[in-house]
Each structure stands twice: as C-alpha cells, then as structure tokens.
A and B are shown apart, each in its own frame.
Chain A
Amino acid sequence: QQQVKQSPQSLIVQKGGISIINCAYENTAFDYFPWYQQFPGKGPALLIAIRPDVSEKKEGRFTISFNKSAKQFSLHIMDSQPGDSATYFCAASIREKLTFGTGTRLTIIP
C-alpha cells in the first residue's frame, strides 16, 4: 500500500522559474512531513520539514505548503537554479518511521 503519493515523476523547469512538486497522504496519524533532496550516488539529505499544525514554512528559496483537510502538501522551489537538479522525495512519519514518496526527478535548464 502506497501511503504517500508523489507527482510528477519528472519535471523540467527553466532557470529562474518555480518548481512545484506535490504529495498526498492517506494516514492521518502522520505527524511530520519532511522533504529530501538526493543527488546521484548520494544518500538523501533533509531539505525542509513541516508539522501538520502549520500551513506553510519557508526557508530561503524553498517553501512547503500544507493542506491538512485535503491531506496534501507541496514543495515550491523559487528562482530554480541548475544546482537544484536532483531527485526530490516527500516523506511522512509516524514517530521515528519515515514513509517516502516515489520521487520527482527535477531538471533545471538554462
């Protein structure tokens, strides 16, 4: 059972544009929603995270929007740069156990 659904599978954005990745979850017991960035051959690295009692969190060019009633959350990358090209995973946790989405391969083109 896929508890966290992520879309799109791949995304191409022009440099300077906004990249948007969406996730939906089913289990209302999830209590923490992080996003991870992964480069080829590397492990995932925490990018930004949010709790369900907050509707938005911003850190630099990265923003999470959270809609508890719809059970959806999204990552927005403003002013996207070529260095942002990577695979992004949303995740949701119950206590210490993270459930990851299937990933979005983001490519930023000049």
Chain B
Amino acid sequence: GAGVSQTPSNKVTEKGKYVELRCDPISGHTALYWYRQSLGQGPEFLIYFQGTGAADDSGLPNDRFFAVRPEGSVSTLKIQRTERGDSAVYLCASSLSGQYNSPLHFGNGTRLTVT
C-alpha cells in the first residue's frame, strides 16, 4: 500500500516568509509525528499527534512553528517568519497506534531552504 506522502518534496523560500508543509500518513494510522533533520544529524522530534490532538509538542523550537491535524489524518506543519536556521529536511512519520513499539513509518521528507 501507499506509504507516508509529504509535499512538496522541496521548498525554497525567502527569509521572513510563511510556509506550509503537508503530510499524508498511512491510512488507518492514528499516530503522526513531525521530525526535523539537519544536514549530517539525526532526526529531531518536533511534535506528536494522537488522532486530532497534539499529544506532545515539546519539540517545537519556538512559537513560529505550529502544526495541525484537524480530521485526524492529514497534517500541516506551518512555519511563520522563516529564518535561515530553519533550513532542514522536515520528516513526517505515522504509526498504527502510537505505542512505544509501534514502528514509525517515515516519509521522504520536505527539504526546506530559506534564502
């Protein structure tokens, strides 16, 4: 079946602009995660949804970052007033249940470049 889909695959924006990154999880997966991966680093946790609600948003770096999942399926990560330091690959993952041993299935990410 289809895996986790992320769009766009690449996004170039100017400093100060607003961007939205979209994630379509695997059908039936209740848990959805956003991670950020900087060059040469491991993914860094941003936020976790269980259903429609953000169960843990402790990884969001500041209030310029916000994510929603209004119907418990598709999620959008929103970044306001982008900065050059926001440049990274933003990864979305979903899992069947959100239990600790429920495997995370990652998308291929959106590469964000802020110029």
**Chain A residues engaging chain B, CB cutoff 8 angstroms:** 4, 6, 31-32, 34, 41-46, 49, 51, 89, 91, 93, 95-103
Q: How far is it, in angstroms, between the C-alpha of A46 and the C-alpha of B42 when the chains are bound?
A: 14
Residue of A with least CB distance to B33 = A96
The DSSP consensus for interface residues of chain A is strand
Q: How far is it, in angstroms, between the C-alpha of A99 and the C-alpha of B99 when the chains are bound?
A: 15
| A-B interface contact total, Cβ < 8 Å | 59
Tell me if B41 counts as interface (CB < 8 A to partner A).
yes
**Mask for B94-115, Cβ within 8 A of A = 1, else 0?**
0000111101111111000000
List 19 A-B pairs, Cβ < 8 Å: A4-B42, A43-B4, A43-B107, A43-B109, A46-B103, A49-B103, A89-B42, A91-B42, A93-B100, A96-B48, A96-B50, A96-B100, A97-B48, A98-B43, A98-B104, A99-B45, A100-B44, A103-B40, A103-B42
* Cβ–Cβ < 8 Å partners of B55 in chain A: 96
**Chain B residues engaging chain A, CB cutoff 8 angstroms:** 4, 31, 33, 35, 40-45, 48, 50, 55-56, 58-59, 91, 93, 98-101, 103-109
Please give me the 3 A-B residue pairs with the lowest Cβ-Cβ distance, nearest first: A43-B106, A100-B42, A32-B100
Residue of A with least CB distance to B99 = A96
